[in-house]
Amino acid sequence: MHKKHFSLEGQKTTFTASLEGETRRTVQISRDDRPGVPFLTLDPVDHEVAHALQKMSDDAFIDMAIRQAIDDQLIEKALESHGPIVALLKH
């Protein structure tokens, strides 16, 4: 399983993004202070899209998903609502 730790400017909480699922193209983001508790999931939903996303390297893919979670303010929304949130992974 491929994982990447990251943080957001202005947030005390740190996060871990990990690749999940059969195609390893679902991204599970968890809070490091609450390991194992669902927080934010980015899912491509469509199996064919997930397979197409496999053309990207794991590192590039996980970076893309983290960037989407930050740019779309999904992490902030999950923090405000106390999670968990499931969102469609853009491609």
Angle between helices 74-81 and 58-71 (to 10 degrees): 60
Contact assessment for residue 31 and residue 69, using Cβ atoms and an 8 Å cutoff: no
Mean pLDDT of 14-39: 89
How confident is residue 42, by pLDDT bands cut at 50, 70 and 90? Answer: very high
Query: What residue numbers bound the domain in which 7 lies?
Result: 3-88
| pTM tops 0.85 | yes
What pLDDT does residue 67 have?
94
DSSP for 32-85 reads TTSTTS--EEEE--SHHHHHHHTTS-HHHHHHHHHHHHHHTTHHHHHHHHTS-E
What pLDDT does residue 38 have?
87
| Alpha-carbon span 76 to 78, nearest angstrom | 5
What pLDDT does residue 3 have?
92
Question: Is residue 17 pLDDT above 90, yes or no?
Answer: yes
Domain count, the chain: 1
